[in-house]
Structure 1
Amino acid sequence: MTDISAASIEARKRIRTDQPHTARIWNYWLGGKDNYEVDQAAGDQIRALHPGIGDYAVADRRFLGRAVRHLAEECGIRQFLDVGTGLPTADNTHEVAQRVAPESRVVYVDNDPIVLAHAEALLTSTPEGRTAYLDLDLRDVDAVLEEAARVLDLSEPVALILLGVVIFVEEDEEAYGVVRRLMDALPPGSHLVLSHTITRADMPDVDAAVAFWNEHGTPRLTQRTPAAVAAFFDGLDLLEPGVVSCNHWRPDDGGAELPAEVAMFGGVGRKS
């Protein structure tokens, strides 16, 4: 496990405040305070190109909450592996899961020094449960599984959460391969929760916003079509309503102010 106190101090030394960063811009769009003027300026420029893009952050975050709550309440999942965690905000995975089942165990994984610097906020837990943080890359599948097994029992069902993180893997073969290897290591009854920015002919402003980001920000993003996002669930039993705009996945009354559809699609699949 990562020595958070020492690692977060070291991580802060590696944070660049002269260049916008996707995690901090996401945090800005969610109304958080862990961002800088450079992130706010870039976020505003991106929003000028695509005024609805800030809604993606809200829709994606609410999708996380609904999916985790469903898995804990309806499917009896008590273990969560959240890879590509992002900056802590309200209703993190462990908070949602442990409200339903206090004994839930959650392992967060991210290799971003910005996230590591704030990781202490992810490590609160109920006395019955446990949370841990791994400073690892999504692509380092063997290390992720080996370290996660110190907290999670990988012979029992696990919810693998990959929200807005596979977009950072440019090559399709590698992206699908990473997700497949992670799911192959988990037992039947495990679930995949995944979201991804899409590209579609009727959403050209999304492409323009992503192109702006890839020119000015870090790390680079890769869009995929809705069909390509759905392909991450090949071999799994997709829960209804399938792979859809995040605000359409089992919506509750909290998303009425969001647009009819956002270009962040997500789904939940079960390994049988």
Structure 2
Amino acid sequence: MNDTTTFKQSLTINLRVIGALLMREIITRYGRHNLGFLWLFLEPMMFTLGVTAIWSYTHANHLGSTLPIAAFTLTGYSTILLWRNMPTRCVSAVIPNLGLMYHRNVVLLDIFVSRIVLEVTAVTASFSTLGILFFSSGLMKAPEDIVPVLIGWMMLAWFGASMSLFVGALGARSEVIEKIWHPISYLTFPLSGAAFMLEWLPAPARAVLIWMPTVNCCEIIRQGFFGPMVHAHYDMSYVAIFNTCLMLLGLAQVRLVAERIAPQ
């Protein structure tokens, strides 16, 4: 048996394990009754719809901007759910799933990957569905250029996945991490770029916030949505470097934890 065949067999087994963990997570979280797994997509949709309704009803005006409220909310609050939900689900993922580690083919990374894939799928489906609904109902126009939207969305998902590995591994080593992650995730919301664009801010604030990867991703997504209506500021090569370093750090932490934990 050559190395290529061995790799294909290992990959097949690994994908089956992740698929099984995905199904287990869906059933455990949402059950088999009522809407079941549909809540996976409805939860993020309800959050974004709620914020859109409130802002539209109050005629919220973003620092004098004339951008459509529905599109601005969609490109802001959906991005929050994308990067924040993954670490939130992974920070407490290890302890409840230690029993699964008795299975030879289940490794710690599989547990994290299954939850990451689940959250990315849910928020992406919500984002796409709401975009179609808003466009069909006339609340917003189609994106000016879909390519920047896809680039920003994928980079933001990469950031969230990397953060999930890091936070999840640390959470397995100390319960304190889970308790401090939640307030940190909420406190970083005003700095995430969801509710503003850098062009609206004074130059000193802009120079600081440009270092936030989430801000760069929000900027390029809105560049794709609004085109010449906005002046976006972003540096995706910086985001790629940041994400790479964070992912390597997260994988290193996962490896350390995997060597120490014992199934119960």
The TM-score bracket by the shorter chain reads 0.3 to 0.5
- Between 1 and 2, higher relative CO (CA 8 Å, sep ≥ 6) is seen in 2
Q: TM-score, with normalisation over the residues of structure 2?
A: 0.33
Structure number with the higher helix fraction is 2
Structure number with the higher strand fraction is 1
- Structure with higher Rg: it is 2
